[in-house]
Structure 1
Amino acid sequence: MFLAIATFWTAWVFLSEWRRTRCLGAAVLGGVLVTWGVHHLTYPLLRGKNAWNPWGYYIDILLVLGVAIGILMLVLDELQRRRSELESLSARMVGQHEEERRRISLELHDQSAQVWAAVKLQLGLVRERAPEALTPAVDRVLSLVDSGIRSIRGVTTHLRPPLLDDLGLVPALRALVESFAEETQLNISFDAPATVPPVSEEASLALYRALQEGLANAARHSGATAAAVGLSVTGRELMLVVTDNGYGLPRPGADPARDGVPTDAAPSYGLTGMRQRITALHGSMDLQSTPPVGSGAALTIRIPIGHHAQS
């Protein structure tokens, strides 16, 4: 009797948990324990009439299996809940990171760039009134100011690409490819449809950052001389593929010096942040390299369209 009461109480605890969380594992455990409690109540009575022998033992085994299944379902549900919490936390961190980028970009554009522009204007006035002997020195200062202004514009564009807001995803990616090819002398091809289905601001930023990181790895770590960027729509997914003809990824157990691969040919830590961005959007990231050494690497990003479409 005591064992039956303890079993019923445990079943009540799990059923209360099921009502609170709607966890299927808790419901299964509650149902199994209720059945087991009834079994504990009836088993002594029926065993005296030889009605449960040997079936009572078989039922015990089945109930133990039911408890094991319920516990497994509870564990899987908890793992899924923790994973959802991590994805939500990652999404919030990415959002805060982008908001900070936006704030810094606006401050640089609205304050620092204007100060540099005012300095350039004043230097222009000084140049007009300065003696001829000072003109070369003023010109050098003006050149430095122009370099500073270009640097600030480059930083603000990197922090928050204005083309994403002004023209959309495809033109922004195309402009990034052209700018990167000009800066690094990397031969980069770009293939994309004229238009793509609308996606959220978060998805557009994730793809833009992914392309930034993919091209940076191709230029700085892989020793590539050429790269190809492709954007396509496959079903309900937007797929971005970045390939290069560099060294590829180091093989497990390989000797970089023996293979002629630079020690910094491995992907940078920026790939970790990229994966977090993509995962937060329920997308996937795949980085592969095909032997032999020198065949290059392929970065593939997939982001669902339906869950992130703009209204």
Structure 2
Amino acid sequence: MTGSLRKSGIEVLGDIPWGTHFCQFYETPQDLLYTEAAFFKAGLQHNEYCLWILSETNKELTVEEAASTLRKLLPDLDDYLAADKLEIVSREEWFLKEGIYDLKAIAERFSEKLKQALLRGFDGMRVNGGGAWLLDHFEGELHKLEKKIDQFIVGQPLIILCNFPLPHILGNDMFDVMHNHQFGIARRYGKWEVFETPELLQAKASLKKMNEDLEQLNNKLEQRVAERTQQLDEAVQYLKIEITDHKKAEELLTESYQQIRALTEHLQNIREEEQIRIARELHDEIGQQLTVLKLNADWLREEIDSPDKTIQKKFKDHMAMVDTAIQSVRKISTELRPSALDDMGLAAAMDWHLNEFEKRTNIQSYFLKSEKQPELSAKVQTAFFRIFQEALTNVARHARASEVKVTLTQKNSHLHLSIHDNGAGFDPQKAKEKRTLGLLGMKERAAMIGANYQVQSKSGEGTTVSVLLPIHE
């Protein structure tokens, strides 16, 4: 979800990703309203919930007067207001509830508003407001507010545009504002300007190095896990053969196996933590730099406006390469660690991943889940998701299936996960003899959380992977 591009409505920007936090400097109320109208129109037309927090220039307006002003630029405004797709609130109502400025409460209001928008079926939310007034009334709070927004917006289906009047923001304040946003724009004398951070010049080199480092790290991780799994499997087999009928040997085998399982779990945890770190760095650093690189290249193309077809083709090829790089970064980041798993829980992450699987493989997919899902620890959610992910990978690679059905249900104090395909099937005994790492990995993950794991398959009759976990409410 967080990787998809959205229409900004602002011609100099074009499409921008979820998680974008940027600012606008303006000189006149007309410039501000022009941007706000275009920004909200794009969101309303693409199933986004819109929140307008009246800023410095329009702070004297009532909500009704603000709506009347915006109506001149958005003729369909009343329809959106009636459908509760656009909400207009005063600065006092949002930032100064009962006359008190409380940063924690403000952050909770943003979180709750986004949660309600998603529950109502919106793709996400976009927000427009201004915080320059904090410079006069609450020293140091503007920086804290913008930093809080930066932390909250990561991985969220959210776009936030902050307004700052140029007569009010000068000198060091302007540098602070730019530091707290991904980039800035200004509309002056009818023309757009874009302000980027210095890191833009290093975006290409950073992306290349990050991709190389990521590939090397992934290869090393895969090699280490494969080698360690093979060593552990051989050690367990050796111990079973050597000390089968001896009590002391059995105790030693049990102890050794527990140590091996603990080590395997430790390696899995290290790998998950590393993947989370890399995914965040890809999204936060490279993703943002690529976005700014794309904006800069698009600006250069408009400024140069050369009739030379060779130059035009070079620009077109460059933009295509940047778009491909952005998609690759998002794909790699999502595969390393889906943000939906941390943001919305196991069921939502599985639903999203299954939709992406169907798009990628053209295998008809169905997902059935209980309306009420139990509270699960991060460890359990990760284990269930990785088993589900590995099972779908096996379906895509080996099953030759046309349909896959996934269920996640709670019954009789147990959580049951089932992945069934109608593909070619296989002989489980032969697969066991081959010591397939994928099946072995799913089994070990289930064991680590105390769950029962089972694979049922027969040639020509498809495959069913089941995980059954006792839960205590």
TM-score (norm 2): 0.44
User: Which residue of the partner structure matches residue 257 of structure 1?
Assistant: none
Q: RMSD of aligned C-alpha atoms?
A: 2.5
Out of 103, 106, 117, the residue aligned to residue 291 of structure 2 is: 117
User: Which residue of the partner structure matches residue 223 of structure 1?
Assistant: 400
Which whole-Å CA distance do the structure 2 matches of 1:181 and 1:77 have between them? 47
- CA distances 1:198-247 after superposition (whole Å, capped 9, x unpaired): 11101101111111111111112111111100111233332211011111
Structure 1 position 175 matched with structure 2 position 359: no
Q: 1:249 touches 1:267 (CA, 8 Å); kept in 2?
A: no
Q: Which amino acid aligns with 1:79?
A: L
Out of 90, 97, 113, the residue aligned to residue 264 of structure 2 is: 90
1:295 match: secondary structure: coil
Which whole-Å CA distance do the structure 2 matches of 1:295 and 1:278 have between them? 25
Q: 2:428 touches 2:455 (CA, 8 Å); kept in 1?
A: no
Structure 1 position 100 matched with structure 2 position 277: no
Which whole-Å CA distance do the structure 2 matches of 1:253 and 1:268 have between them? 10
Question: How many Å apart are 1:160 and its aligned residue?
Answer: 1.1
User: Which residue of the partner structure matches residue 332 of structure 2?
Assistant: 155
Which whole-Å CA distance do the structure 1 matches of 2:331 and 2:430 have between them? 40
Which whole-Å CA distance do the structure 1 matches of 2:278 and 2:407 have between them? 31
More helix by share: 1
Which whole-Å CA distance do the structure 1 matches of 2:412 and 2:398 have between them? 33
Question: How many Å apart are 1:272 and its aligned residue?
Answer: 2.4
Question: How many Å apart are 1:79 and its aligned residue?
Answer: 3.3
Q: 1:163 touches 1:172 (CA, 8 Å); kept in 2?
A: yes
Out of 278, 285, 306, the residue aligned to residue 446 of structure 2 is: 278
2:396 match: secondary structure: helix
Q: 1:232 touches 1:238 (CA, 8 Å); kept in 2?
A: yes
Out of 295, 300, 310, the residue aligned to residue 466 of structure 2 is: 300
- Mapping 1:22-101, distance limit 5 Å: 74-101=248-275
Larger gyration radius, structure 1 or structure 2: 1
Q: Unpaired runs of 5+ in structure 2? A: 1-244
Question: Structure 1 pair 285/253, CA: closer, same or farther in 2 (3 Å)?
Answer: closer
Q: Which amino acid aligns with 1:165?
A: D
TM-score (norm 1): 0.66
- Mapping 1:191-206, distance limit 5 Å: 191-206=368-383
Question: Structure 1 pair 104/229, CA: closer, same or farther in 2 (3 Å)?
Answer: same
User: Which residue of the partner structure matches residue 142 of structure 1?
Assistant: 319
Which whole-Å CA distance do the structure 2 matches of 1:143 and 1:267 have between them? 43
Out of 368, 387, 390, the residue aligned to residue 210 of structure 1 is: 387
Q: 1:249 touches 1:288 (CA, 8 Å); kept in 2?
A: no
More strand by share: 2
Q: 1:203 touches 1:303 (CA, 8 Å); kept in 2?
A: no
Q: Which amino acid aligns with 1:239?
A: H
User: Which residue of the partner structure matches residue 233 of structure 1?
Assistant: 410
Which whole-Å CA distance do the structure 1 matches of 2:248 and 2:446 have between them? 28
Question: How many Å apart are 1:197 and its aligned residue?
Answer: 1.1
Question: How many Å apart are 1:304 and its aligned residue?
Answer: 3.2
Q: Unpaired runs of 5+ in structure 1? A: 1-70, 255-265
Question: Structure 1 pair 200/97, CA: closer, same or farther in 2 (3 Å)?
Answer: same
